[in-house]
Amino acid sequence: MDNFTFANPTKIIFGKETENQVGKEIEGYSKKVLLHYGGGSIKTTGLYDRVISSLKKSGIEYVELSGVKPNPRLSLVKEGIKICRENNIGFILAVGGGSVIDSAKAIACGVPYEGDVWDFYLGKNIIKKALPIGVILTIPAAGSESSKNSVITNEDGWYKRGVGAPALYPKFSILNPELAFTLPKYQVACGAADIMAHLMERYFTNTRNVELTDRLIESTMKTIINNVPTVLNQHDNYDAWAEVMWAGTVAHNGLLNTGRVGDWGSHGIEHELSGIYDVAHGAGLAVVFPAWMKYVYKNDVNRFAQFAVRVWNIDNSFWDVERTALEGISKLENFFRRIGLPTTLSELGIEDDRLEEMAYKGTNGETSTLGNFVKLGKEDIFNILTLAK
C-alpha cells in the first residue's frame, strides 16, 4: 500500500425530501446564488419549484443559467463566469447530474481567475480558489457531487479535458434517491456504466497489498450489478435507488483510491470519443473499457482473474487463469448489454475514419501517454479503438 492523505470536505445530506433544506444550507455562504441546471426536467418534476421555494424562505436571491448539455461546453461556462461577475454572485447551486456539476465547478474557479478558465484544463495554471458550490443531485453517475474533479468540452477543436483541485469540492451535496425515479432507462444505464468505470479505474492497479480497498471496490461493483436491473424495472424502488446513488458517490469521492494508483486510461480514451462524437459518457465507457481490458489483461492476469471470481462469481480455473480472466471481461460486456448499452463503436454509429485522430489527441500529439496500469501510446490507443469496432 502506498502512502496517502485522504480528506473529503463535502457534506452529504441523504434521503427523502432533503432538497427542501437547500436554502438553509446556503445561508452561511451567500445571499445571492447562480442556479445552474440543464433542461426542463427539473421543472416538469416539480424539483425547480421546491428549490425556488426553499431559496426564498431563506431570503436568498438567485440568477438562473440553464442549458447545460451532456459533455458540458466551455462556451456556457464562460457565460456563467460573466453572469457571476456582473451580478456579484457568491455561491453556485448545481441542480442536476455530473455535467451540470462539472460546469458549475468550471464557472466557480473561473470567476476569481483573471485568465482564460481553459488554462486550468490544459494544465497551464493551478486552481487556487473558487466560489463555493452546492449540489442537488438528480442523476447517480459521475460522482462529481463529492469529488474535486471537473471535465469540460471545448468546442474549438472538440477537446474534452479534466482538472482537479481541492477548491472544487462542493460544500454540500443533497442526495434524494426519489429524484432519480423519472430518469429514462438509457440514462440510468449510462450512469451505471460511469459508476462501474470509476470503480474499475481504481481497481486495476499495479500497487500491491491493497486488500481492503480491493474488497471495498468489489463490493461496490456488486452493489451496482445487483441493483441497477431492479431500478430499470422498478423505477420507483427507493431502496434500490438509494444503493445506486450512494454507490455512485462512494465510487468517486477518493476513499477507494487510497493507498493505490489507479489507471484512468479508459477515461482518457473515452474523452476523445465523446469530445468528437458527443456520445453519452457512460455509453462510451461501456464500449472502451472491455476493449481496454482485452488489450492489457496480460499485464496482470491474476488481478483480472480476481475481478472475475470476486465480482462475477466465476469459478477459478486454477490450471488456466487466463481463461478465468477472459470470462470476467465477457461477463462485464454481457452486463452492459443486459442493461441496454452498446459495447462496440459500430453500435454507437461510429466508423473508423477518425480513430487515428482520437489516438493522436489522446496523447497530446504523441507527447504523452494515457493510463498507469499500462502506459498507452498513440499506437496502443488506436489498437484499443480498433478492438472496440
- The domain spans of the chain are 11-179, 185-387
CATH 3.40.50.1970 fits 11-179, yes or no: yes
**3 state SS of 32:** strand
CA–CA dist 219, 162 (Å, integer):
27
CA–CA dist 244, 213 (Å, integer):
19
pLDDT of 53: 98
**Neighbouring-strand partners of residue 134:** 93, 172
Taking every pair of Cα atoms in the chain, the longest distance, rounded to a whole number of angstroms, is 68
pLDDT of 317: 87
Q: Which residue ranges in the chain fall short of pLDDT 70? A: none
CA–CA dist 332, 342 (Å, integer):
12
pLDDT of 40: 85
What confidence tens digit (pLDDT) does each residue in 344-354 have?
999 999 987 89
Residues 6 or more apart whose Cβ sits within 8 Å of residue 123: 163
pLDDT of 331: 98
What confidence tens digit (pLDDT) does each residue in 122-162 have?
999 999 999 999 999 999 999 999 999 999 999 999 999 99
pLDDT of 362: 95
pLDDT of 318: 85
221 within 8 A of 310, measured Cβ to Cβ: no
Residues 6 or more apart whose Cβ sits within 8 Å of residue 114: none
Pick from 221, 193, 231: which is nearest to 310 by CA? 221
pLDDT of 351: 82
pLDDT of 170: 98
Residues 6 or more apart whose Cβ sits within 8 Å of residue 386: 352, 355
Tally of CB atoms within 10 A around 20: 15
**Neighbouring-strand partners of residue 54:** none
389 within 8 A of 292, measured Cβ to Cβ: no
Q: How far is CA 61 from CA 56, 66, 137, in A?
A: 7, 16, 21
pLDDT of 136: 98
For residue 173, what is the enclosing H or E element?
strand 172-175
pTM confidence score = 0.95
Q: Which three cell numbers stand for residue 271?
A: 474523452
Domain 185-387: which topology? Dehydroquinate synthase-like, alpha domain (1.20.1090)
